[in-house]
């Protein structure tokens, strides 16, 4: 097919979801489209999941690059980095960037991700109050660590704990403020959460649990955080990790159907059949997404449909979580709460700091929480995803794959 006749694919968002979809498309139909990518950040696509090790000083920005500018050129992709799309005209089928570039599309892929939720308390717009989302946030944190002492992280979930660990590794005094009584309460049960808190406290992190932020204090820059009970603590840097919101303003302005996020079908198609969407900006069957495994699967399905090989359907599956804090082993997968008729298999070894809880429903494993010993996590996750009958393994299940293999 000659280049002039090729249809145009425009990708809005140069992050992991959009670029993984382009990779999947190129595998199946490398010459099908003229591809143009617009990204808000001034560089190629990098592994956002590994920002925590960059903050902790274990990796560099170069280490986490997935696609350098050379890769785009090699694949004939036009990249407009640092120039986000500000307008979509679905009638004319064009997008317009901040710098004024207009590109026509035959197919449009929205991969606009999410934005950190900045708790809207007085003082939230002060310099020194940031999210933890991209390379520039990491740069801001590293700069603060060189010149300031007190950091407050608001939100004791996965991202908050990774940010707190990184800032502490850079020499800051760090306090984590969490509204719940348990850390990582989305992924962990109470005993595992308590083990985690104890281990992090032993490293010097401080925690204020069930604490509600009332105000960020300061005039020219953040100087402290005041809580609903009237107490306050000093802060030179406040990192908000209290969740994200799907970034859908562009889609809404273009008149695409959105609820909490851009509503897509099983092919990742929006209500406009020319417009696809993947990643944290989408809502599929009422769910939104923040972990990488479901987003990779969305990319696989969407890439196939864009390639004209649309036999795949996106199906939501259980997902697993690991904490990227060196020296702390934690794994959580599936339904860790359980329901009516579910049973818990629990192993506790406080001296070795090992805790395992498996949630069993009938003859199937539906959830797992592992702390201290996590090497069997992927195996348990496999059992959950494949809905394997574990009746024969039940008495050995807590002791892991090797013992179950011997027993079988």
- pLDDT single digits (tens) 345-394: 999 998 888 999 999 999 999 999 999 999 999 999 999 999 999 999 99
Task: Please state the pTM of the whole predicted model.
Answer: 0.90
**pLDDT for the residue numbered 206:** 97
Query: pLDDT per residue over 88-98, tens digit each?
Result: 999 999 999 99
Please report, in tens digits, the pLDDT of each residue of the chain (408 residues total).
Answer: 455 589 999 999 999 999 999 999 999 999 999 999 999 999 999 999 999 999 999 999 999 999 999 999 999 999 999 999 999 999 999 999 999 999 999 999 999 999 999 999 999 999 999 999 999 999 999 999 999 999 999 999 999 999 999 999 999 999 999 999 999 998 899 999 999 999 999 999 999 999 999 999 999 999 999 999 999 999 999 999 999 999 999 999 999 999 999 999 999 999 999 999 999 999 999 999 888 889 999 999 999 999 998 778 888 887 888 888 878 899 999 988 888 899 999 999 988 889 999 999 999 999 999 999 999 999 999 999 999 999 999 999 999 998 887 765
Percent over 90 (pLDDT), the chain: 87
Q: What is the DSSP code string of 221-259?
A: SEEEEEETTS-EEE-SEEEE-S-EEE--HHHHHTT--BS
Cα distances from 154 to residues 168, 173, 178, 368, in angstroms, run 15, 14, 6, 27
Cβ neighbours of 169 (radius 10 Å): 18
- Residue 209 is inside which H or E element, if any? strand 206-209
CATH numbers and ranges of domains, the chain:
8-113+247-307 (3.50.50.60), 116-242 (3.50.50.60), 329-406 (3.30.390.30)
Pairing of strands 354-361, 206-209: unpaired
| Distances in whole angstroms, Cα of residue 93 to Cα of each of 237, 257, 281 | 43, 17, 20
């Amino acid at each position: 097919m000659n280049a002039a006749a090729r249809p145009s694919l425009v990708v809005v968002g140069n992050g992991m979801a959009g670029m993984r979809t382009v990779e999947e498309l190129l595998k199946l139909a490398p010459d099908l489209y003229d591809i143009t990518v617009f990204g808000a950040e001034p560089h190629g696509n990098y592994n956002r999941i590994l920002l925590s090790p960059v903050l902790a000083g274990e990796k560099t920005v170069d280490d986490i690059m997935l696609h350098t500018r050379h890769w785009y050129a090699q694949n004939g992709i036009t990249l407009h980095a640092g120039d986000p799309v500000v307008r979509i005209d679905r009638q004319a089928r064009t997008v317009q960037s901040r710098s004024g570039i207009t590109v026509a599309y035959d197919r449009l892929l929205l991969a606009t991700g999410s934005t950190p939720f900045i708790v809207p308390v007085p003082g939230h717009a002060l310099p020194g109050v940031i999210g933890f989302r991209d390379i520039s946030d990491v740069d801001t944190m590293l700069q603060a660590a060189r010149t300031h002492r007190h950091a407050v992280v608001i939100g004791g979930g996965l991202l908050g704990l990774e940010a707190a660990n990184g800032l502490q590794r850079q020499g800051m005094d760090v306090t984590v403020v969490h509204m719940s009584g348990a850390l990582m309460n989305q992924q962990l049960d109470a005993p595992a959460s308590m083990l985690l808190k104890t281990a992090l406290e032993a490293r010097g992190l401080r925690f204020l649990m069930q604490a509600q932020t009332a105000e960020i204090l300061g005039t020219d820059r953040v100087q402290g955080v005041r809580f609903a009970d009237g107490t306050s603590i000093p802060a030179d840097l406040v990192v908000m990790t209290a969740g994200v919101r799907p970034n859908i303003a562009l889609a809404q302005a273009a008149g695409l159907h959105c609820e909490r996020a851009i509503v897509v079908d099983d092919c990742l198609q929006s209500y406009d059949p020319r417009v696809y969407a993947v990643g944290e900006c989408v809502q599929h069957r009422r769910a939104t997404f923040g972990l990488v495994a479901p987003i990779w699967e969305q990319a696989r399905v969407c890439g196939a449909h864009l390639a004209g090989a649309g036999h795949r359907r996106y199906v939501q599956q259980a997902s697993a979580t690991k904490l990227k804090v060196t020296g702390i082993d934690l794994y959580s997968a599936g339904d860790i709460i359980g329901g009516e008729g579910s049973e818990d298999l629990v192993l506790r070894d406080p001296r070795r700091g090992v805790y395992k809880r498996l949630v069993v429903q009938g003859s199937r494993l539906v959830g797992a929480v592992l702390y201290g010993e996590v090497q069997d996590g992927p195996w348990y996750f496999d059992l959950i995803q494949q809905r394997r009958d574990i009746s024969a393994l039940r008495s050995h299940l807590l002791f892991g794959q090797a013992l179950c293999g011997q027993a079988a």
